[in-house]
Amino acid sequence: GPVKLSDDQLTALNKKLADVGFNEKLSYGKPTLVYGYVKTCEKHPDSDHLHVTMVDVGNGEEHKIVCGASNIAQGQKVVVALPGTLMPNGQEIWPGKLRGVDSYGMICSARELGLKHAPQKRGIMVVPDSFKVGAAFEPTKCDELIASGDITL
């Protein structure tokens, strides 16, 4: 999985790189698996089960995402895999079109996120309203909330 460095570790690593002649510095990357807010949710014009959503993913960014989950709805907070995300099953998320509509990411289910306590039924994972839009997804926290019944489908 991803390695998260402390500030001290990042500084030490950059020092080691400089010591061997590298001029570039490493920095923290922007998370690609984040909490988002579903601002709009409409029926897909060419499908009886898909929805076209507009999702706020933080920092003033909004993405159109086509979603096939039956429990998707406007006003939910969800987990969004932005383009460039490597999912637990090895799938990489890229922008694309679903039935002619552009989609820039994926709204995730607990099962797609590889969470231990993920229900085996279909549907995206709706997270509590207290989760901050744009913050990095925290798998352990979400899995504990599923196990306790605080996150459901």
Q: Which pTM does this prediction carry?
A: 0.84
Together in a domain, 47 and 82: yes
Together in a domain, 39 and 83: yes
Token pair listed for 70: 């039956």
Together in a domain, 56 and 81: yes
Together in a domain, 125 and 82: yes
Sequential pLDDT tens for the chain (153 residues): 566 788 999 999 999 999 999 988 888 888 899 999 999 999 998 998 999 999 999 999 999 999 999 999 999 999 999 999 999 999 999 999 989 889 999 999 999 999 999 988 889 999 999 999 999 999 999 999 999 988 877
Together in a domain, 51 and 103: yes
Together in a domain, 84 and 9: no
- Residue numbers of the domain that contains 13: 1-28
Together in a domain, 116 and 132: yes
Per DSSP, the three-state class of 97 is strand
Together in a domain, 61 and 129: yes
Together in a domain, 20 and 64: no
Together in a domain, 8 and 40: no
Q: What share of the chain is helix, strand, coil (3-state, %, to 5)?
A: 15, 30, 55
Whole-angstrom distance, CA of residue 77 vs CA of residue 36: 6
Token pair listed for 90: 């090895």
The answer to whether 42 touches 74, Cβ cutoff 8 Å, is no
Together in a domain, 42 and 8: no
- Residue 153, in any domain of the structure: no
Count how many domains the chain has: 2
- Residue 71, in any domain of the structure: yes
